[in-house]
Amino acid sequence: MKVVIVGGVAGGATAAARIRRLNEKAEIIVFERSGYISYANCGLPYYIGGVIKDRSELTLQTPDSFYNRFRVQMRVHHEVLSIHPERKKVLVKNLETGEEFEESYDKLLLSMGAKPTRPRLPGVDISRVFTLRTVEDALRIREYIDLHRPKSAVLAGGGFISLETAESLRNLGIDVTIVQRPKQLMNPFDRDMASFIHGEMRKHGVKLALGHTVEGFEETDSGIGVLLKDTAPLKADMVVLAIGVTPDSHLAKEAGLELGVKDSILVNDRMETSASDVYAVGDAVQVKHFVSGQDTLISLAGPANKQGRIAADNICGGDSRYKGSQGSSVIKVFDLTAAATGLNASGAKAAGLLADKVILSPMSHAGYYPGGRLMTMKVIFEQGTYRLLGAQIIGYEGVDKRIDVLATAIRAGLSALDLKDLDLSYAPPYSSAKDPVNMAGYIIDNLANGVVRQWYLEDIDSLPRDGRFTLLDTRTKEEYAEGHIEGFINIPVDELRDRLTEIERGKPVYVICQSGLRSYIASRILSGNGYDCYNFAGGYRFYDAVINDRCLIDRACDCGMNLQ
């Protein structure tokens, strides 16, 4: 059996190694147009910033090492120009010599990945406008920085690569501005949760131009001008385009293979395309979202590696199936860790699901053990069924552990109510006896059993301030004095039982505290005394972070980029 693989890196290299492990006699050829067949895409920003100092550390395997171990022919600087499924051949160009030749195959695997989205804007080809997707891209950026010592940079886009590059450039002392058309960074997160990411970026000197659209670039005497819609240009020494990726599917399209979302390659759960004996994996393929069941694109290394293994199994006569992607991800944002899995609230709504949520602020480990830090958790579940839909967590330690527990719970089909029963490890330096994941389950269980009812940030503007409701802040007097929501009266929770006469009966009571715990206790006190009450999801800490962030974003938009 002869297998030709187009593209290395995650899916292609994984498939090649797996095929060899399953079939010692197969002839395996990988064509890779770059000079690198297996490298760490996710490490590229850290090389630019000097965290990864040796460029060789980005390369997981070389053509020689791969051949020595797996007897796979890794032909770098070879670009596949076309595929011909009807003849089972591909047309290849040697980029070093210019020679073109045809290569036959019994099985063909397409692993071209995705390419940086490069909009057709004026000036997009200026030499100081970079993209970051390959090792060569990272080397170009690093070389430019070493030679020209830029003092400022504009990053267009607000996803993983942009944030990681922003941190790396700031660590080099470069002034950084991120321009993003939506009014938030990191689309896997809901806008309220993204507020904590925005705050961390600003804390480390990154300027955020959110809600602005890039319309082009122009060279100036002092650098490069970034042209923005309806406002003055930004000036910088360099620009990095990080506005997303586009499936690199032109070979499949030209060969007549069926395409899906955004011209991605359509595959079944065996990673088979519409053409016989042609498979496809990675960022170029359409997948099913594991939670919503909808067709989507999810460009992450984990799914690409899994798909490469599945395709290899099936190429070798097995019957492996890909069960869908749920978008589990984590990112370092300076001192913060931000992680997500499954659907966010806006994604659940777009999928036509009726979703509810809990928001809590647990400690990363036992409060009495030194060094614990708060995290903010948002768990999304389906109304009525309590099916887990997704989660987002932002904090300083223990975030990755909790998101992986929740990702596993979703994959295993556990309900949100099952979270309270998970038997998770505990020692004071690592967790609490009631782990944050358990705490989310307890809150959801209380909602399911009518022990507590919630109100949310989006209800703030609709709350009447005419006396029809009682708005109650149960924090201490000192906390209340430092900041509170207009219209809320202050009765600390420990004084509540003795001051119930101050709360008029027959009116709904909307309760808030700093994190949600004291207001929950207050809600139980009030309910036990006949009051109709609702607890705020997230607490004043959450409210304050989100509202302040929105004010800063709107102010920057309204005053012509006086960025905060």
Which residues have a catalytic role annotated?
42
Within 247-333, where are the H helices?
A: 250-254, 301-315
Residues 391, 359: Cα–Cα separation, whole Å: 10
Structural contact between residues 41 and 132, judged by C-beta atoms closer than 8 angstroms: no
CA gap 284, 247 in Å, rounded = 4
Contact partners, residue 120, CB within 8 Å, separation at least 6: none
Q: CB of 424 within 8 A of CB of 411? A: no
**119/110 Cα distance (integer angstroms):** 25
Q: Report phi then psi at 383, rounded to 5.
A: -65, 140
CA nearest neighbour of 179 among 127, 133, 235: 235
DSSP string, 169-237: HHHTT-EEEEEESSSSS-TTS-HHHHHHHHHHHHHTT-EEEET--EEEEEEETTEEEEEETTSPPEEES
The dihedrals phi and psi of 470, each to the nearest 5 degrees, come to -100, 120
Written as six digits, the tokens of 433 are: 């006896």
The runs of H, that is alpha helices, within 263-334 are: 301-315
Say which amino acid occupies 536.
F
Alpha-carbon gap, residue 216 to 319, rounded angstroms: 49
Q: For residues 392 and 368, what is the distance between their CA atoms, to the nearest angstrom?
A: 26
Residues 6+ apart with CB under 8 A from 235: 152, 220, 222, 223, 224, 225, 226
Cα 460 to chain centroid distance, Å, stands at 28
Q: What would the two tokens of residue 399 be?
A: 């975030």
CA dist., res. 197 & res. 388, Å (int): 24
Q: HSE, CB side, 13 Å, CA atoms: give it for residue 216.
A: 7
Mutual angle of helices 160-171 and 191-203, in 10-degree steps: 10
